[in-house]
Amino acid sequence: MVDRLIQHCESKERSRLGVMLPAMGLLVTAIAFGVLAGLSVPVWLDGGYVPGKPKLLTVAEVENLRWMKSDRGQLARDIITVN
């Protein structure tokens, strides 16, 4: 009787491990997907990277730099500097 009870408890413990391993695998996969998406989506939403060296700029950053070099951008910079 006691032997059957011990075997029953041991089989429950083995079955828990059989359920936990796939669950842990799914959790690790979900975390890896979250990290990958977190690193790539913000850059993609900004228009991606513009090729160049030494630093990669997003399309939005390049547009901002072009505007700052324009006459209106220089005027805005002078107004901010004076104030």
Q: What is the pTM for the complete model shown?
A: 0.45
Give residue-wise pLDDT tens across range 14-37: 667 777 888 899 999 999 999 988
Residue 13 reports pLDDT greater than 70: no
Helices (H), 1-83: 2-45, 59-69, 71-82
Q: How far, in Å, CA of 41 to CA of 47, rounded? A: 10
* DSSP three-state, residue 52: coil
Average pLDDT over the chain reads: 82
